[in-house]
Amino acid sequence: MHQAFDRRAATPGADQNKLELALLARIAARDAQAMHELYHLYHRRLGRFLMRLTSRYDLAEEVINDTFWVIWQHAADFRGASQLSTWIFGIAYRRALKTLKRVRPEQLAEDAEGLEQVEEPWQQAELREWLGAALGKLPHEQRMVLELAYHLGHSCEEISVIMQCPVNTVKTRMFHARRKLKGLLTVLAGAL
């Protein structure tokens, strides 16, 4: 009955990576149309990822554009050590952390504090709302590991590159995220 998810259906394959690398090469040569195409390819995925991290549309938009600003300036520096998507999400993650430190230093500090149980009114909400509320209670490092693994389909090694931390740290964050989510989602856990 148990079956691993077919990653090929959800994440960019070799052909897609090749296409994106061709766009990046054109961007390195200052081709605005290639920039337009790559921007649209990533905008939704980055937007969703950054909304999870910042919870604000204006900050998410700012970070997406900061990310592509870096891509425009450093496209020629990409050496292909990872998938292009891993490189781009890594830039976005680091830019988002810098932005959050600037505008909401307290949030990053609060993330390290203890978790609260989701309050009673949420118990009538739908699964998606439950999940959003519960994810919002996790420290951002754990939330991002879940988002990168379960929504964007990145491997443990890719996440370690994106978040610039050892593979074992990714595994530890995933472990704690799962444990805390189980505690938070009491109703959801029952459904599971």
Partner 1 sequence: MYPEDFEVDAHEQAMGLIPWYVNGTLAANDAATLSAHLDGCARCRGDYQSQLRLFEAMQADTTLVFAAEPSFKKLMARIGAHEDAGGLAAAGAAAVAPTVSTPLVRRRYAGVARWLTAAVVIEGLGLGFGAWAWHSHNAPPASSYVTLTAPEPSYRDSPRIRVVFRSGLSVGGLGAILHEAGAHIIDGPTDANVYTLGFSAAAVTPGVVDRRVAALRASADVLFAEPLGTGSTDDDSR
x/- site string to partner 1, residues 46 to 65, per CB under 8 A? Answer: -xx--xx--xxxx-xxx-xx
Count of residues in contact with partner 1, rule CB under 8 A: 63
Which amino acid is it at 171?
K
Nearest to 117 by CA among 102, 141, 128, 133: 133
Instruction: Give φ, ψ of 160 to 5 degrees.
Output: -65, -35
- Measured distance CA(149)–CA(144) in Å, rounded: 8
Nearest to 10 by CA among 150, 146, 135: 150
Nearer to partner 1, 61 or 111 (CB): 61
Residue in 13, 18, 22, 43 binding partner 1, rule: CB under 8 A: 43
- Measured distance CA(16)–CA(11) in Å, rounded: 9
Nearer to partner 1, 93 or 154 (CB): 154
Residue 35 contacts partner 1 per CB under 8 A: yes
96 within 8 A of 63, measured Cβ to Cβ: yes
Instruction: List the interface residues with partner 1, window 108-167 (CB under 8 A).
Output: 127-129, 131-132, 146-147, 149-151, 153-156, 158
Residue 104 contacts partner 1 per CB under 8 A: no
Beta-strand ranges (E) seen in the chain are: none
67's tokens: 């990310």
Binding site for partner 1 (CB under 8 A): 2, 4-8, 10, 28-33, 35-36, 39-40, 43-44, 47-48, 51-52, 55-58, 60-62, 64-65, 68-69, 72-74, 76-77, 127-129, 131-132, 146-147, 149-151, 153-156, 158, 171, 174-175, 178, 181-182, 189, 191-192
